[in-house]
Chain A
Amino acid sequence: MTMTAYQWRRYTVRTSIYVVLILLTLVFLAPVYLVVVTSLKDPATINLASTWNLPEFPYWQSFGEVLEAFGPRLRNSVALVLGATVLSSVMGSLNGYIFSKWRVPGERYLFPLMLFGMFIPYQAILIPLFDFMRGVNLYGGVIGLIVIHTVYGLPITTLIFRNFYVDIPDEMLEAAAIDGADFFGIYRHIVFPLSIPGFVVVIIWQFTQIWNEFLFGVTMTNTDSQPITVGLAQLAGGEAVKWNLPMAGAIVAALPPLLVYIILGRYFIRGLLAGSVKG
């Protein structure tokens, strides 16, 4: 049986679509392959010419060395992410509730003014921030970094929650108000129980952003309070590096957000797209 011209054309188009997609997949994953392969090589066997070869045997020691080199930085990042994510999500949820369901004097200006905070280059506030943090004795510690990430996380968390709460019908709130619920009652009994997906989006987003952040991490800390990204930059910096360590370090630093992305990708994308505003 022969194919008609139409079938033949359709077949070639379909096939080429898949070929292009598979090629692109390989392009996107090539760096991953290289990282994994390099991290598992014995440093003595790493040379540029055999970059793409598989290791003769998996050499796991690099990961132990990396964990040792990161030392307290891994713990700092975990503490930082936990603290700042929880604080900025809770505050963002309240803000979103207020901006979407309560009339606040001047909210037409306050909300955009708040949102602008998520677009500014943080370099613009870095030096006054440095001055301020030194002044209140929070410079150079994990607590200070938690405060910084909480505050600069407020615009995006407020935005996501506000957009989420706008869809809750006002009638539900009014009904609760008639039943005698006050500001906190409405939040606790109606808004909060409906917020779980909103919280998932915000927590994932804040977790990834804060875990991956570098600028505040490198300028607002001392050696005891640095986050993992700074540790990785130090591991990979300089000229004569043994590449198994930075690659193993990159895997350790990438793993938590990557796992979150793979397991909860749908929510991650919602956070991602929320960043392009459209309130």
Chain B
Amino acid sequence: MRSNRDRLIAFVMLLPSLILVGIFVYGFITQAIQTSMTDWGQNPEQPPLAANVVKSFVGLQNYQNIMTDTLEFTFRNSLINTFFFTVFFVLGCVVAGLLLALLLDQNVKGEAFFRTVFLFPMALSFVVTGTIWRWMLQPNGGINILPQALLGLPPIQFTWINNRDVWLPFEWGNVPMYVTMLGIAILAFMAINYALSRRWRATQYAVIAAVVVLLIFLARLWDFIWLPLDTPEAETPIAPKGFNAALIGIIIAAVWQMSGYTMAMFIAGIRGVPEELREAARVDGCSEIDVYRRIVLPQLNPIILSAMIVLGHISLKIFDLVFAMAGPDNAKTVVPGLLVYTEGFRENAFAKASAIAVIMLFFVAVIIVPYLWSQLRQSSQER
């Protein structure tokens, strides 16, 4: 039998890792939160890198500044960029990954070769990908002149990273409207879903409807918290906000790199569907397409959700790809991850950078903590 002494040794052997992770993750997070509530780097009388720098407590001042100060719009723009980047990047990877996985599930010859090709960008650094795609997306070269080089067609006129256009305009003051529209869309989707499936899942529908109504109601409160703080911005003539077209090229590069990952996840998921199940459906008269629609895809749903969460959190942290493709100072493509770098390590505005970093951590935690919890609960149940 394993002795108590061995149990003690086990714990002692684990201790160094626990202490290191404890300090480097939780200790530093605590410290980042503390720093975000000081004036480190803002006080002109205190050189930020001096050994005996005095950091005074300022409460939530830094958060209020980056969220509301008229001149601090870069951070808010980076949030808008992250939002659109996340939506299109996640959507792109899931759709492309699904397409690739379904194609490779057709008993194709040379499957291993195709899989290797679609997955190889995953082995590259984002810096390598960014460098390559910066060259691919030169306005007068790269893919723009590919139709010309291959077929003699006129070149594509799109300036990619240099593009200054703003699509899908976004106004902070309109957030209640966006939430309401999203809510209506969800309700409509539910109605269509019901009309198609004719299955009435009372509790499920009630919960979703309640959440939607609650969200719409909460969004009404936005006017009270946001607008009084937001007013000066409306009077400042600054660039329109929305989906910056300059991000499109970066999204394409990111999808090129990461869709192999979703493909690998989906292939693993499809392989997990027992062949007997598919065979049974075929015997019952399902066509190949129905087999996918009714058997395979429903089984993939949890995997699609996992993929969306993993990709979503990667997108919230994105840094090196944007750095390599657009540089750290491009206002059209700025993301929070870059701001922490430029504000913290170039401007030495450590407190402000910490506040941005804490907000990043908050968003990542919101999607990762429930995910991690459900994953670990699931696996302990299976055991």
Contacts and interface: CB of A to CB of B under 8 A. Distances in A.
Given A119-B372, A154-B21, A257 B124 contact: yes
A147 B356 CA distance: 25
A249 to B, nearest CB: 7
A194 interface: no
A7 interface: no
Given A31-B256, A104-B11, A127-B344, A208 B123 contact: yes
Nearest to A152: B24
Contact of B131 (A24, A154, A215, A246): A246
Contacts of B134: 236, 246
Given A258-B123, A279-B379, A121 B317 contact: yes
B153 interface: no
A45 interface: no
Interface residues of B, number: 104
A219 to B, nearest CB: 5
Contacts of A273: 264-265, 268
B66 interface: no
A214 B324 CA distance: 10
Interface string A134-177: 00000000000000100110110010000000100000011001
Given A178-B1, A229-B320, A183 B10 contact: yes
A10 B121 CA distance: 33
Contacts of A127: 32, 35, 340, 344, 350, 353-354, 357
A21 B108 contact: yes
A218 B268 CA distance: 36
Given A119-B372, A124-B29, A127-B344, A104 B361 contact: no
Contact of B357 (A30, A117, A121): A121
B373 interface: yes
Contacts, number: 292
Interface in B141-183: 141-143, 145-146, 149-150
Nearest to B16: A91
Q: Is the interface of A mostly helix, strand, loop or mixed?
A: helix
B14 interface: yes
Interface in A202-229: 208, 211-215, 218-219, 229
Residue of A24, A166, A178 most packed against chain B (CB within 10 A): A24
10 closest residue pairs by CB, A with B: A48-B141, A212-B125, A261-B123, A125-B28, A128-B31, A102-B10, A128-B28, A124-B361, A214-B320, A123-B340
22 contacts: A24-B114, A28-B117, A48-B141, A51-B142, A116-B369, A117-B21, A120-B365, A121-B316, A123-B317, A123-B336, A148-B24, A158-B17, A166-B383, A174-B2, A177-B1, A183-B2, A214-B127, A236-B130, A247-B135, A253-B127, A261-B123, A269-B264
Given A35-B132, A151-B20, 13 more contacts: A21-B114, A124-B28, A125-B25, A152-B24, A174-B1, A177-B1, A214-B319, A233-B323, A250-B128, A254-B128, A265-B119, A273-B268, A278-B379
Interface of B: 1-3, 5-7, 9-11, 13-14, 16-18, 20-21, 23-29, 31-32, 35, 100, 103-104, 106, 108, 114, 116-128, 130-136, 138, 140-143, 145-146, 149-150, 256, 261, 264-265, 268, 306-307, 310, 313, 316-317, 319-320, 323-324, 327, 336-337, 340-341, 344-345, 350, 353-354, 356-358, 360-361, 364-365, 368-369, 371-373, 375-376, 378-380, 383
